Amino acid sequence: MSQTTESWGSRVGLILAMAGNAVGLGNFLRFPVQAVQNGGGTFIIPYLVSFLLMGIPLLWVEWAMGRFGGRYGDHSTPFILDNMTKRRFWKYFGVFGIFTNMGVMAYYTYIESWTLTYTIKSLKGDFLGLDLAQLDIFFNNYVDLGSGINFPVWAILAFLVTLTINIYILSRGLSAGIETVAKIAMPLLILFGAFLAIMSWTTGSTGRCDDCSTFIGLNFLWEPDFTTLANPKIWLAAAGQIFFTLSVGMGTIHCYSSYLKQKDDIALNAMAAGWMNGFVEIVLGSAVVIPIAVGYLGLDWVIENAGFMMAFKTMPFLFDQWGSVIAVISGVAWFGLLFFAGITSSLAMGTPFMGFVQDEFNWSKNKSAIILGVSILAMGLPTILFFEKGVFDEYDYWTGTVSLVVFALAEVILFAWVFGMDKGWAEINDGADMKVPKIYRPIIKYVTPLFIGTILFT
């Protein structure tokens, strides 16, 4: 097994990279849609409860597991799980986690490439003057819908460019590659998000319809209806969103934290990364798509049409209502924001494979990155060529949903019951700048597994 000399360059870089791993396309595309479909402001209450009882505990568990593995030169879940249990089953289970990551990266990078294309198109002003129907046609042509087997030339080229960017950065390593990108991308992401949020808040009532006001959209997302709070569907949706937004159950946090020093704090750092993700999701994620759409199309339209594709088929039209100059700036900010959110997450998805092959086969960073790139290309092409046949959705369901929940449930059981809560609790608090409240000990052991199990089996 190779002994890496890589490490994080700074605490700020570590937190930004960890936050970048969590902050992804789902913060701006999945979260607001989930909120609309699950009671608006009512959704926020179970969301925060789930964050405290499931999200934060899982972050501590994964940070602790990663740092423990790094102490012995392990930088991927197969070796980390094997070292914690001394049982071969868990090593093979860790390999399952790596393939899950690669499956997610295969289709996620394709979406990421859309945001790159749309950023360039926005900068050129190609969306100016287009209505909703024309934007729908543009996207369908871009991904070549309606032709059976899809062969979207420009979309494939954009995918190749995006994948190449990812592979190049990964080949640069931890500090010179991932950390450097995070230090640039995360501040710009927050800056772009803040600009769009301010534009949303200052738009107010547009007079396009009786309820066409961004304030109505914001009010819908923030004012809870306590009569629906007991609805189990809302609680399950909120718990699921917390699960996916923090990028737990993927092995990426294990890999990142394996490069920590033995006495580096994980209790406070994990909290900081988690709360930064929460800020981006709740404050910025809820301030852009839904309020602006309500401002020009009305609340009824948004409730009926809320979905992932609003980002590409609706937002350029909404920006165009602000005039051509602001439309171009807003389009670049919006799709640039999504690209930065996407690439900081996809880079994290590539690190478990990199860590595994470097540890197992002593491959160089360049060779590991190239093999990863070829693998992702082979896995990603079916999601492009058979997009219309549902392959993309199958990848998302099995690798981006079911597998993550299974892995997270297994790892928290391993940590609390196999590795042992005594050793696990000591590992979380070792070197901590802030000791974790003792109430979280039974939460990690009992409540968090129950939360995850409920999501998996419901």
What values do phi and psi take at 28, rounded to 5? -105, -20
* In-domain check, residue 212: yes
Predicted pLDDT of residue 344: 98
Average pLDDT over the chain reads 95
**CATH code for the domain in which residue 36 is found:** 1.10.4160
In a domain, 120, yes or no: yes
Average pLDDT on 265-290 reads 95
Confidence at 3, pLDDT banded by 50, 70, 90: low
Report residue 150's pLDDT band, with 50, 70 and 90 as the boundaries.
confident
Q: What tens digit of pLDDT does each residue of 215-246 get?
A: 999 999 999 999 999 999 999 999 989 988 99
Q: What is the DSSP letter of 251?
A: S
Where residue 55 falls among pLDDT bands split at 50, 70, 90?
very high
Query: Mean of the pLDDT values across residues 418-447?
Result: 96
pLDDT confidence of residue 4: 54
Q: How many domains does the chain have?
A: 1
Position 149 scores a pLDDT of 80
The CA distance from 128 to 289, in Å, is 18
CA 456, CA 413: separation in Å to the nearest integer?
14
Residue 2 lies in a domain: no
% of the chain with per-residue pLDDT over 70: 99
The arithmetic mean of pLDDT across residues 360-370, rounded, is 96
Q: How confident is the model over 394-404, as pLDDT tens digits?
A: 999 999 989 99
SS3 388: helix
Question: The tokens of 244 are what?
Answer: 């996916």
Residue 155 covered by a domain: yes
SS3 category, 226: helix
pLDDT digit string (tens) for 159-207?
999 999 999 999 999 999 999 999 999 999 999 999 999 999 999 999 9
Q: Is residue 1 part of a domain?
A: no
pLDDT in tens, 68-103: 999 999 999 999 999 999 999 999 999 998 999 999
pLDDT-based confidence at 323, cuts 50/70/90?
A: very high
Q: Which residue has the higher pLDDT, 262 or 213?
A: 213
Q: Which helix (H) or strand (E) holds 260?
A: none
Q: What is the pLDDT of residue 351?
A: 97
The per-residue pLDDT for 394 is 94
Is the per-residue pLDDT at 115 higher than 60?
yes
pTM of the model: 0.95
Mean pLDDT is lowest, of 135-149, 216-230, 433-447, for 135-149
| C-alpha span between 186 and 192 (Å, rounded) | 10
Backbone phi, psi, residue 34, to 5°: -60, -40
Q: Which domain holds residue 53?
A: 11-457
Give the mean model confidence (pLDDT) for residues 352-364: 95
Residue 5 lies in a domain: no
Q: Which pair of structure tokens corresponds to residue 203?
A: 């738009």
Residue 110, pLDDT above cutoff 60? yes
Q: Going by C-beta distance under 8 Å and a sequence separation of 6 or more, which residues neighbour residue 212?
A: 205, 206, 294, 295, 296, 297, 298
In which band, very low, low, confident or very high, does the pLDDT at 5 lie, cut at 50, 70 and 90?
A: low
